[in-house]
Amino acid sequence: MSTPSQIDANRLNAQKSTGPVTASGLAVSRFNALKTGIHAKSQVIPGEDPAELEQLAADYHRQCRPSTPEQCFLVDTLINADWLLRRYHKVEAQLWALPSDDPNPTTNLAEIFERRRKTFVLVHRKIAALERSYYRAHKELKEAQQPADEPAKPVSQEEYIAALASFCAPPYAPTPARAAAPPQPRPPLDNPALRL
């Protein structure tokens, strides 16, 4: 257990190490943990051009011309997926460019490659998810922008039953030999243990 003098010393030391307090110090320190931008919550991270994102958004809006809030959401999904895909492809290129030698001689080479493999797996999962999101939003946007066809005419009960019967019919016709052969009777059970 800590003595009262140790507790007082800890409290005094804690007052000295509170981190940055000035606006410029806080602005610099907020990016201390940022390395690749894989988990970044902001749309634009350092090293990316906000004007490029604005141009990308303008191009998508010009090409897709969304007219409803749903279509605007789908276009924004396309923009976000495209922007993040560009970021992840840059990260992937940086991973290939990393040197394989570690300055720490005690680090096992297998550990280095295992960490790199895990990072590659993470990046490729994110790329695949973003591509699925992009193509799903693109498909839904095209469907939402299709002109509404005339409403479907009501179907009579006879037409419905005929369509259902043709759908449920077996895909093959029975062969004549199979249809003509009578079913074979089962042999009687002579085992008394099997009788009920």
CB 134 within 8 A of CB 81: yes
Evaluate if pTM is beyond 0.85: no
Q: How far apart are CA 124 and CA 91, in angstroms?
A: 10
Average pLDDT estimate for 125-133: 94
Closest CA to 82 of 40, 37, 44, 133: 133
Please give the mean pLDDT across all residues of the chain.
Answer: 77
Tell me which of 52 and 164 has the higher pLDDT: 52
Residue 182 has pLDDT above 70, yes or no: no
- With the CA atoms of 40, 126, 101 and 104 taken in that order, what torsion angle do they form, in degrees rounded to the nearest 10? 50
Please write the tens of the pLDDT for every residue from 67-104.
Answer: 888 999 999 999 999 998 998 888 888 877 766 555 66
Tell me which of 3 and 94 has the higher pLDDT: 3
3-state secondary structure of 81: helix
CB 85 within 8 A of CB 127: yes
CB 75 within 8 A of CB 141: yes
Please write the tens of the pLDDT for every residue from 153-165.
Answer: 666 777 767 766 6
Q: How far apart are CA 93 and CA 99, in angstroms?
A: 12
Q: What integer pLDDT is reported at residue 32 of this predicted model?
A: 64
pLDDT band at 127 (very low <50, low <70, confident <90, very high): very high
Phi and psi angles of residue 130, each rounded to the nearest 5 degrees, phi first: -65, -40
Instruction: Indicate the residue type of 190.
Output: D
